[in-house]
Chains A and B, each alone.
Chain A
C-alpha cells in the first residue's frame, strides 16, 4: 500500500465506551484549531463528530460503532481541509500463509516481524542495539574470522599462525601437513584449527596421536591454553573402561604405539573421527609400517600431520605423508618416482616446480626467516659453586642413601620419593627437610634407614642454623644479581627454597616479588606488577606463569635445575619470547659432582641447549624419549646404578656421545628439508 501525503496515527480507544477517542499528536496537528467539528471518513462511510480541545478528544454518538472498522491501534490518516474531513484507513493485514514466509527458515519469527511492521507496532530500540552486539557471539562466521582467538588463554596468535590456520581451514579443508620450522608453534596452530572446528560444532570426535613422551605435554597444553579436557589413553579411567573407552570418550590423546596395537586399532578403526591430529608425523614416513597403515585406515574428516622434518632419508617419505592426507595427490608411488625422483637418487627431486605445486596444496611450512618476529640471542653462563664441607657432607650422605635404596624394592621408600629427594637436595637444604621429616615418621621404613634420615635432619638443622650469608649457593646468587644489576628472575622448583631466597635477598636489601602456583590470580597479578614497577628480583616457580608478560626482564637464574630439559626450556621461554628486545642471559649454578652438574655437562657442553632455538631440544631429545624413558629417569638410573665415580663418568660420556649424535642427525635432516623445501611453503594471505 502506498501512502501519499498521509500520516500514521494512533487510534486510542480507551475512552470509547464513554463515547470518545483521544487525539494523538498527529491528528491534533492536522485539524485546524478553529474547527469544533470534524467529518470522519472510514472506507466511504462519513460521520460528523465534535472536537473537545480541552479534553483533547473527538466525541459524539455512535463513535464506538463507527470506529469498529478500524482494526488496529494504528491507522493511516489524511486531512482534507476543503471538506474538513479526516480520512482514516486501515493498515494492511498480513497473512501467515503468504508463500514468502515459506522461503524463510523459522517462518513464524518472520511473520511476527512483518506483522509488527505492518501494524506499525515497533519494539524497543535498545533490543536492536543488543542484537547488534550479540551478533559477535551469535553466529558461526566464515573462516575469515577466527572464533577461537577470544578463547585462547595465556597467549596470542602471531600473524603467520593466523594465516596458517585460515589457510588450512579454507583452502586445505582441514587436511594439511604442518611443517613449520622448530619453535614456530605447530602445536598451537593445530590446536587452533581444532578449536575452530569445535566451536563451530564441526568436530566432536577427535583423536590426537603423539609419541609416548608427548602425551602428557599435549594433555596439559590443551587444558591450560585451550580449556580442552582430553583424556589420555593411559589414564586409569580410560584403561578401566577397556575397549569401549575409545568409543565412549569424545576427545582422546593416545600414543601411536598404543593406538596401533591390534586390539586397540580394531576398535579405533570402527569409529568415525571428525578430526585426527598426528604429532611428530615423520614417524609415519614408511608406508609399509603398521603405524602408517593404521593412520591411513582411520575414518576421518579432517587430518593434520605435524612435523618439522617431513623428509629424513628419502623423497618417498614425503610421498607417504602426503598420501595419508590426500591419496593420489602425488599419484601412485611408481608414477611419483617416475615423475619426480631422479633415477638412482633417492633425495634428488626432478620436475621441482610441478612437485612444489602439488605439495603446496597440502603443506605449510613457515620459516623463522619469513615470519615477522624478532628473535634475540641467548647467552648462558654456568657458575661453579664450591659447597662448604658440611653442605658437601649433606649432599653426599643423602645421595649415597638414595643410591643404596633406589633399586631396593623392600626398603619401604618408593623410587619416586627417592628421586624427589635427590632433586630437592639439588635445590637447597630447606627443600629437602619436609621430605626428610615425613620419612622419619614413616613406620614402613626400616629402623636403620629412619636412623639415617634422622641423622640427615640433624645436619640439615646445623646448616639451617647458620647465617644465610654463609650458604655458598646463596653467596653465588648474590654475586650474580649484583653483577647483572638489572631485573632478573630466580627460578626454583620448591616452595621452601623460595622462603629461603626471599629472606636472603631481603636481608641484602633487594626489593623482591614472589610468584608461585599456590597464589590466586589476583595475588599473581600484584606480584608481577610489583616486579615490573619496583622489585629488581622475581623469585618464581615454573607453575602457572607462561602467559605473563615478563619480556621487560632479560635475565634468569636457575637456582636449581629441572632434570627435564623441556622444563628448563619453559623457564627460558618466560622471557625469551616475542617482544623481548634484548639478548637473554641465563645463569646456572653448578656444584661439582652433583647430579645437576652432570645434567649441565650433557645439556650445555654436549648439545649447547641453552643457545639452541626454542623447540630444538625437543627435536634432538625426541628420539631419546621414544625409548619410553624420560631424560630424568635416564639420568637417575645412571646416577644410582654406577658402581663408582669412574663408571658414572663413563656412562655420562656415553650418553653425551649419543646426544651429540642425535644433534648431528637432527642438523643433517634440517639441512635436507631446507634444501628441498626452501622458502616456498609459508602460509599466505589469499
Chain B
C-alpha cells in the first residue's frame, strides 16, 4: 500500500468514515453527511494507482493535485488548531540530587544542602508554521519552534527531543502549574525565531554571490558586444546605412542588457509569507530544588534550580 493510500485511509478513519478496501489500490469510503459539502458526496470510490484507474474509470484517482487530495489536505490543516499533550515520565524523582546539582553548577568541591523540593507543571508549546519563499521558484517549508513558557525562551533542546516525549491526552500528575500562559506573547517570541530561520533560508536561496556573478556575466557580454559593434562601426568607408545598422544594434544590446539584469533581479528576489498552522502544548512535570551552598563565607543565601523530567536536565530560573 502506498504512503498516500495509508494517509488517506488514516484521514478518513479519523473523520469517522466507513472504509472498505475493495481491491489492490481501490477503496470505498462512506463519509458522514456533515462533510458532504466538502467532498460533494458521501460515497467516495478512490483509486491510488494509475494503471488500476485505467481499468476502473468510475473511481477517482487520488494523486498529487487531485480534487480529493486537495480537500483532504485543506481539512487536515483546518481541523488541527490546538492540542495538549501531558508528558508521561518513567521517573519523577532525582536520585542523589545534591551530587547532580553540584555537577550542574560546576561546584564539585563545595557542599550543598537541599532545603526544599517541589514538583510543578511547566508548559512547553510547539508552534507549527508553514513558510513560503517565492521567487522564480516557490518553496514551502514547515518550520516548528518550541517555547519554554516558564522562561519565555525558545527551547531547541525540547524541540530536538519532541519525538521521544511520551504523552497522554489526559492529565497524568496533579502538580500545580508554574508557567506563563500568555500564548500570544509566546507566539511573538517564536516568530522572532521563525524570522531568524527565514532570513537564513532567504539568504541561502537568494545567494548574493550568484546574483553578482550573473550580473557580471550579463554586463561583460553586452559590453563586449557593444565594443565589437562600435569597432566595426568606426571602420572607414562604411555607408550611412551600415553605420545606422550598427547604431541600432548597440541600442538593442543596451536594451537587452537592461532587460536581462532586471530579469535576474526579479528571479532572485524572494518574498516570504508565514502561516501559523497549529500549536501543541506539552505539560511537563518539573522539580524545583531550593538549596543552600555550605562553607562559602557562611552565607545563608538560598538558591533554586529546577529539573526537567522529560529532558532529564537541570536549569536555572531566568
Contacts and interface: CB of A to CB of B under 8 A. Distances in A.
Nearest to A329: B217
Interface in A129-157: 129-131, 133-143, 147, 150-151, 153
Given A127-B83, A131-B76, A5 B274 contact: no
Given A124-B83, A137-B7, A147-B64, A4 B183 contact: no
Q: Kindly state the interface size class of chain A when it binds its partner.
A: 35 or more
Contact of B278 (A103, A118, A128): A128
A199 interface: yes
A24 to B, nearest CB: 11
A199 B55 contact: no
Given A137-B4, A328-B222, A116 B63 contact: no
A388 interface: no
A303 to B, nearest CB: 13
Interface in B1-21: 2-4, 7, 10-11, 14
A521 B51 contact: yes
A130 B279 CA distance: 14
Interface string A225-252: 0010000000000000000000000000
B139 A328 contact: no
Contact of A6 (B73, B83, B177, B187): B177
Contacts of B79: 123-124, 127, 130
A134 B178 contact: no
B77 A123 contact: no
Contacts of A522: 23-24
Contacts of B72: 134
A418 to B, nearest CB: 32
B199 interface: no
B12 to A, nearest CB: 10
Contacts of A139: 130, 140-142
Interface residues of B, number: 74
Contact of A114 (B24, B179, B184, B218): B184
Contacts of B178: 3-5
Contact of A301 (B55, B69, B136, B169): B136
B73 A105 contact: no
Contacts of B260: 327
A329 B218 CA distance: 8
Contacts of A8: 177, 181
Contacts of B222: 328
A437 interface: no
A411 interface: no
B138 interface: yes
B139 A141 contact: yes
B138 A138 contact: no
Interface string A435-455: 000000000000000000000
A173 interface: yes
A664 to B, nearest CB: 38
A356 B295 CA distance: 72
Given A8-B177, A100-B191, A200 B125 contact: no
A344 interface: no
Contacts of A114: 183-184, 187, 276, 279
A605 interface: no
Tell me what chain A mostly uses at the interface: helix, strand, loop, or mixed: mixed
Interface string B192-223: 00000000000000000000000001101110
Contacts of B155: none
A7 interface: yes
Interface string A299-334: 001000000000000000000000000111101101
A123 B83 contact: yes
Contacts of B49: 521
A202 B221 contact: no
Contact of B137 (A127, A200, A227, A326): A200
Nearest to A301: B136
Contacts of B181: 1-3, 8, 76, 91-92, 118
Given A130-B14, A227-B50, A94 B85 contact: no
Contacts of A137: 4, 7, 64, 69, 73
Given A326-B217, A328-B218, A331-B224, A127 B276 contact: no
B90 interface: no
A380 B132 CA distance: 55
A7 B181 CA distance: 11
B281 interface: yes
A125 B85 contact: yes
Contacts of A117: 82, 125, 183, 279, 281
Nearest to A5: B176
Contact of A201 (B77, B125, B138): B138
Contact of B184 (A98, A332, A520): A98
A110 interface: yes
A335 B221 CA distance: 10
B300 interface: no
For A2, A200, A326, which residue has the most chain B Cβ atoms within 10 angstroms? Answer: A2
Nearest to B140: A139
Among A4, A129, A133, A137: residue with most chain B CB under 10 A: A137
Contacts of B279: 113-114, 117
Given A5-B176, A133-B10, A139-B130, A332 B224 contact: yes
Contacts of B14: 126-127, 129-130
A483 interface: no
B243 interface: no
Contact of B76 (A110, A134, A335): A134
| 9 A-B pairs closest in CB distance | A328-B221, A134-B76, A131-B80, A139-B140, A117-B183, A110-B276, A127-B80, A105-B273, A5-B176
22 contacts: A1-B182, A2-B180, A7-B177, A76-B181, A92-B183, A100-B184, A105-B132, A123-B79, A125-B85, A125-B169, A128-B280, A129-B14, A130-B79, A131-B278, A139-B140, A141-B140, A169-B137, A227-B50, A301-B136, A332-B225, A521-B24, A521-B51
Interface of B: 2-4, 7, 10-11, 14, 23-24, 49-52, 55, 63-65, 69, 72-73, 76-77, 79-85, 120, 125, 128, 130, 132, 136-142, 169, 174, 176-184, 187-188, 191, 217-218, 220-222, 224-225, 228, 260, 267, 273-281
Given A136-B7, A227-B63, A521-B51, 11 more contacts: A6-B177, A106-B275, A123-B83, A130-B11, A130-B80, A139-B140, A140-B132, A143-B139, A153-B51, A328-B221, A332-B224
Interface of A: 1-8, 26, 29, 76, 91-92, 94, 98, 100, 103-106, 109-110, 112-114, 116-118, 120-131, 133-143, 147, 150-151, 153, 169, 173-174, 199-202, 227, 301, 326-329, 331-332, 334-335, 520-522
